[in-house]
Amino acid sequence: MALAICLRTLFGVLGALMLATLLYTLFTDGSPFRKELLTPWMAATLIDFYINVVAFAVWVAYKESNWISSILWIILLVCLGSITTSAYIVLQFLKLSSQDSSQDPMCYVLLRHPNKNGMAPTREPSFVVILRVLFSILGVIMLGTLVYTLLTDGSPFRKELLTPWMAATLVDFYINVVALAVWVSYKESSWISAVFWIILLICFGSITTCFYIVWQLFQISGQDPAYLVLVHHGDRAENKYKGLTNIKKKESDIP
């Protein structure tokens, strides 16, 4: 229960912080859609940012029960970035029952909720191989972008590059990194490995995101449902669904 409350509060605060950052930058620096703002490093940062958005979009598409809500949330992710990420995560935690929150809130938030009739979702075609290819390509694109920008525009650690909109973009980017870091911490079996991956996320952004996701996808069979990467290696997600199903059945038996 405490973990669910802490994470709900954390992402509520981060979402509010990003909203305030967005409004402040709009009022003080004007529109972001100005040609002079699109420097090579801003372009690279945006590519980095939106590759992470793809990862969240895949999760949202899996979580949502219909394509209309999936598309709506994905459009919001593209337009509002980590504001949408934070709002969506908070919403998922608010949907948890007190029993879900006390058992394994991260698992129940990450996995799709059982149907209202208490039945677990039917087995779907595996997208493991497709996702391996997708995130491998995205990781290579980001690595190429990083190397190219370094060679053609020099170091990103220059004072003139830190414009108000670059700063806002970095805040947006790293709030999404926090969400990914929470997932990595949940996934990893030790704090040493979790800290290692989080440092790589901070330093290399979506390159690490893609590499980590691909690595997790290779931990399961190509015939397994892709959602198994969301939980611990030892936790078969089907067992979690069975637990959820039993709870819903018990609730439905109560007059």
For 68, residues 6+ apart whose C-beta sits below 8 A from its C-beta are none
Domain residues for 94?
Answer: 2-253
Query: Quick one: pLDDT at residue 251?
Result: 43
Query: Quick one: pLDDT at residue 120?
Result: 47
> Is there a contact between 216 and 59 (Cβ–Cβ < 8 Å)?
no
- For 132-162, b/e burial (b = at least 16 CB within 10 A) is bebbeebbeebeebbeebeeeeeebeeeebe
Domains identified in the chain, total number: 1
> Is there a contact between 17 and 171 (Cβ–Cβ < 8 Å)?
yes
> Is there a contact between 237 and 111 (Cβ–Cβ < 8 Å)?
yes
Written as six digits, the tokens of 234 are 């030892």
Other CB atoms within 10 Å distance of the CB of residue 203: 9
Please, how many CA atoms are within 13 Å of residue 24, restricted to the half-sphere of its CB?
Answer: 11
Query: Quick one: pLDDT at residue 234?
Result: 58
- For 87-98, b/e burial (b = at least 16 CB within 10 A) is bbbbebbeebee
Helices (H), the chain: 2-29, 40-63, 67-80, 82-94, 98-103, 105-110, 128-153, 164-187, 191-204, 206-217, 237-253
Other CB atoms within 10 Å distance of the CB of residue 79: 9
Long-range contacts made by residues 176-181, C-beta under 8 angstroms, separation at least 24? 176/49, 176/52, 176/53, 176/56, 176/81, 176/82, 176/85, 177/52, 177/201, 177/202, 177/205, 178/10, 178/14, 179/11, 179/56, 179/82, 179/85, 179/86, 179/89, 180/52, 180/55, 180/209
Quote the CA–CA distance of 249 and 87 in Å, as a whole number.
Answer: 30
Please, how many CA atoms are within 13 Å of residue 64, restricted to the half-sphere of its CB?
Answer: 17
Query: Quick one: pLDDT at residue 255?
Result: 45
Specify the amino acid at residue 94: L
Query: Quick one: pLDDT at residue 245?
Result: 44
Written as six digits, the tokens of 19 are 């909203």
Specify the amino acid at residue 9: T
**Each residue's pLDDT tens digit in the chain (255 positions)?**
788 999 999 999 999 999 999 999 999 999 999 999 999 999 999 999 999 999 999 999 999 989 999 999 999 999 999 999 999 999 999 998 887 777 788 988 999 876 444 444 455 567 899 999 999 999 999 999 999 999 999 999 999 999 999 999 999 999 999 999 999 999 998 999 999 999 999 999 999 999 999 999 999 988 889 999 998 765 544 455 444 544 444 444 444
Query: Quick one: pLDDT at residue 237?
Result: 47
